[in-house]
Amino acid sequence: MKLTTFGAAQTVTGSMHLIEHNGHKLLLDCGTFQGRREESYHVNLNFPFNPAELDAMILSHAHIDHSGNIPNLTKQGFTGPIYATNATMDLADIMLRDSGHIQENDIKYLNKKRRKQGQRSLEPLYTQKDALLAMPQFRSLWYQEQKEVIPGVKAQLVEAGHILGSAAIVLDYEDEAGNQKRLWYSGDIGRFDVPILRDPVLPFDAHTVMMECTYGDKPHEDMEDSYEEFVDAIKRTVSRGGKIIVPAFAIGRTQNLTYFLSDAIENGDIPDIPVVVDSPLAVNASDLYRKHTECFDDETWQFIAEHRMQGLDFHNVIYTRSVDESKALNDWNEPMIIISASGMAEAGRVLHHLKNNIEDGRNTIMIISWQAPDTLGRKLADRERKVRIFGEEYFRKAEVVTIGGLSAHAGQTLLVDYALSSQDTLEKLILVHGEERAATALTEKLAAYPDLPVPVYAGKGQVFEL
């Protein structure tokens, strides 16, 4: 079997890995690369292989950096099945259409700039319609259901504990010498004891582990310490009479946060202030979180029972869909928490809330997840004083709070456990989905285990014979 790491290779976004076995081709994830607009457009547009030659694809989870380029893949000739869990399939449906909408808007912006420079206009990467057209190719799998996805390769999806429906992809096959082998691709690794979801399953009997290492350099702060920081920041802001703006990924982070906040309000840890989820995508995703009860862990069922809820309906959370409702939030002159997408503050309604609130020292901007270089979110997390929003310069007076411990990604300690858990059978350890600093730190940490193969920090287009 041949594996080529084409995306999230020595970077975090754009996950995409090609498997070739007995003349057949299988793609693991097909995410969009995120960075500077024009560069991203070209990276995403041109696949390093012919999409028409692929036999099948498997999607680990619905986040756009793993799924976002699927409509472009099908548009460019891929006609095979796309395997994913039921919840991932539903989430991908709303996620990809939303992404199509963003692509259509992005290209308008880019073309305006290009026209000024006398360059020709570009087509969007894909449209909402292209996203819709990709959906019939999806085939759902249950967790642990085995399926021969290409001849000689049996795949199963295993709980990753990262977002609703998220999975690691496990491939069983025979190598050239006729030995039974297992490749375990982590997708994004979640954490133990996060709200709503079950814990991630660690690899077993794997010969190759290809794993993410986003937080390879950071042992996460204790969830409880982070929770305290989170509560303190809210209390501080409320006492100033300010608003808390949280750029959050519509899927996963938003639902975890609403769970946390509802719990904190119920317990009296924070004042009973409105929690607004202002992102149509996040609102739709929240509906899917309520629908896919098969993904809930035992604690969530207990929470639902204790609070006599029908499902995950938090009574103090306000969901806004329309633009008018969103705009009206600006006139509310009272403390509130606004959770809005996008998670890296690159697009979406959160930009309006940032623009309206960033120059008021009473307010707080709360950064709760990893921010890609060159994004507005990264600039805010780095506490830059002057930032550009919609082309205008703003002088930041709002407080910035970064809370690492609430991340949906595994920290260093769990990543070490993940690498070690197949120690007896492991022949190759491949690190993807992480910046160099993170991969180096994790590699140093793993050097304490001499029996473990030395990790390879996979480059773009690097080939592995497995």
Q: In the complex, which residues of this chain contact Zn ion (CB under 5 A)?
A: 63, 188
CA distance 217 to 213: 8
CB of 188 to Zn ion, least distance (A): 4
Instruction: Identify which of residues 55 and 188 has a Cβ nearer to Zn ion in the complex.
Output: 188
CA distance 420 to 426: 9
What does the chain come to in residues? 466
CB burial string 245-259: b at 16+ within 10 A, e below: bbbbbbbbbbbbbbb
**In terms of Cα–Cα distance, which of 80, 82, 84, 44 is closest to 61?**
84
Instruction: Identify which of residues 31 and 242 has a Cβ nearer to Zn ion in the complex.
Output: 31
CB of 162 to Zn ion, least distance (A): 6
CA distance 410 to 166: 13
**Residue whose entry in the numeric block shows the structure tokens 């858990």:** 421
Instruction: Identify which of residues 320 and 342 has a Cβ nearer to Zn ion in the complex.
Output: 342
* Omega before 166 within 30 of 0, i.e. cis: no
CA distance 57 to 211: 18
CB of 252 to Zn ion, least distance (A): 7
Instruction: Identify which of residues 70 and 358 has a Cβ nearer to Zn ion in the complex.
Output: 70
CB of 166 to Zn ion, least distance (A): 7
- Scanning 307-375, the segments in alpha helix (DSSP H) are 323-328, 350-357
* Coil/strand/helix, residue 364: strand
Instruction: Identify which of residues 251 and 337 has a Cβ nearer to Zn ion in the complex.
Output: 251
**In terms of Cα–Cα distance, which of 268, 296, 123, 278 is closest to 195?**
296
Amino acid at 254: T
Instruction: Identify which of residues 63 and 379 has a Cβ nearer to Zn ion in the complex.
Output: 63
Alpha carbon of 219 to those of 249, 343, 416: distances in Å?
A: 22, 22, 10
Instruction: Identify which of residues 15 and 127 has a Cβ nearer to Zn ion in the complex.
Output: 15
Alpha carbon of 138 to those of 74, 98, 315, 343, 386: distances in Å?
A: 11, 17, 34, 26, 44
- Contact between 153 and 21 under an 8 Å Cβ cutoff? The reply is yes
Instruction: Identify which of residues 70 and 337 has a Cβ nearer to Zn ion in the complex.
Output: 70
Instruction: Identify which of residues 60 and 363 has a Cβ nearer to Zn ion in the complex.
Output: 60
Residue nearest to Zn ion (CB): 63
- Contact between 27 and 69 under an 8 Å Cβ cutoff? The reply is no
Which token pair is 367? Answer: 């950064």
